[in-house]
């Protein structure tokens, strides 16, 4: 199993009587991309600030590659690359000048500086843009520069906060591909509110709500969660909804798009066999029967709403 590069335990941050983050834990391994989601006010930004050493937790611990971030902040931060939601760019500098400055700020040895700057430009698709002023670049290329400054010192952990906000669809696709490539060499935390982005890029996902984690598992587990206990059914000659609800195991029936139906059932009460038999017997014209995929947005709403009701 790959080495743990970031380990956060029981992170808590209080502001007076308000607890912004309550007992949150992280474990990130080499070569892994972790999606970190949450609505506005969930405590995401506060957590990111603690993980990057920009905000001290009220309690809890953070280790970067075994180095305690609170006890040895300089050594730990040297292993972190960070892209804030608003990239810290100097628009009047060229791409090469800015990345060289970033390398110096990260204390990259002079002998390695030129090679690492060129490598960061190449990895981020900026090898032809080194002489251009950052202010003249498109938003997508400015994001690339922001990511390049986060990796120019070859950190073990890369933390990206909303890296595709404000980009057009083509730029979003390019940045997502870049993040996937980074995950092959670094450990990456991707903070975002775009659920499909997490599914397309990440290995694991953590969802935060009201300062607490409400979901922490693999992307495969999230996909299984999306399926739930629901069947999507297409019938050319559908009966009355009450007749479908009377099928043994069906707990609820709802109309879906394109004349389809969603049949909900309790765990262990899959009505598939009974439905197929009845459809043939009563000539309902069954033409579709498959597990219904709950949208990621619906999963997110369900998780956060369930947590709010606890």
Read off the tokens for 3.
């080495």
Last residue of a domain, one of 224, 243, 261: 224
Is 273 domain-assigned? yes
pTM attached to this predicted model: 0.79
| CA–CA separation, 51 and 55 (whole Å) | 8
**Other CB atoms within 10 Å distance of the CB of residue 301:** 13
- For the stretch 248-299, pLDDT in tens is 989 989 888 778 998 988 877 889 999 999 999 999 999 999 887 666 666 7
**CB burial class (10 A; 0-12, 13-18, 19+) of residue 143?**
buried
- For the stretch 149-188, pLDDT in tens is 999 999 999 999 988 888 888 888 888 888 988 888 899 9
Q: How many domains does the chain have?
A: 3
Helices 219-227 & 296-309 angle (0-180, nearest 10): 90
Q: Give yes or no: residues 60 and 123 share one domain.
A: no
Domain residues for the domain of 124 are: 92-145
Report the CATH number at residue 54: 3.40.50.300
| CA–CA separation, 207 and 301 (whole Å) | 11
Report the CATH number at residue 268: 3.30.70.100
Note the pLDDT of residue 276. 94
| CA–CA separation, 218 and 216 (whole Å) | 7
Give the model's confidence band at 42: pLDDT under 50 very low, under 70 low, under 90 confident, else very high: confident
């Amino acid at each position: 199993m790959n080495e743990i590069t970031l380990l956060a335990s029981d992170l808590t941050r209080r502001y007076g009587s308000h607890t912004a983050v309550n007992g949150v834990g992280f474990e990130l391994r080499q070569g892994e991309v972790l999606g970190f989601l949450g609505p506005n006010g969930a405590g995401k930004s506060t957590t990111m600030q603690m993980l990057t050493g920009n905000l001290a937790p009220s309690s809890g611990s953070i280790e970067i590659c075994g180095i305690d971030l609170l006890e040895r902040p300089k050594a730990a931060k040297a292993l972190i690359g960070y892209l804030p939601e608003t990239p810290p760019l100097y628009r009047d500098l060229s791409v090469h000048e800015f990345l060289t400055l970033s390398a110096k700020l990260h204390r990259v040895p002079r002998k390695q500086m030129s090679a690492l700057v060129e490598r960061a430009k190449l990895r981020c698709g900026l090898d032809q843009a080194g002489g251009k002023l950052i202010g003249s670049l498109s938003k997508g290329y400015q994001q690339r520069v922001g990511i390049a400054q986060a990796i120019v010192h070859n950190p073990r952990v890369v933390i990206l906060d909303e890296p595709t906000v404000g980009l057009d669809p083509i730029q979003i696709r390019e940045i997502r591909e870049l993040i996937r490539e980074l995950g092959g060499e670094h450990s990456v935390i991707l903070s975002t509110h775009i659920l499909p982005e997490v599914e397309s890029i990440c290995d694991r996902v953590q969802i935060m709500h009201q300062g607490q984690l409400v979901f922490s598992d693999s992307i495969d587990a999230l996909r299984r969660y999306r399926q739930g206990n629901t069947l999507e059914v297409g019938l050319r000659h559908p009966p009355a909804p009450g007749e479908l609800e009377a099928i043994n195991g069906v707990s609820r029936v709802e109309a879906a798009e394109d004349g389809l139906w969603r049949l909900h059932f309790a765990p262990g009460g899959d009505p598939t066999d009974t439905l197929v038999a009845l459809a043939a017997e009563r000539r309902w014209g069954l033409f579709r029967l498959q597990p219904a995929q709950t949208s990621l947005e619906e999963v997110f709403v369900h998780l956060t709403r369930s947590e709010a009701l606890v």
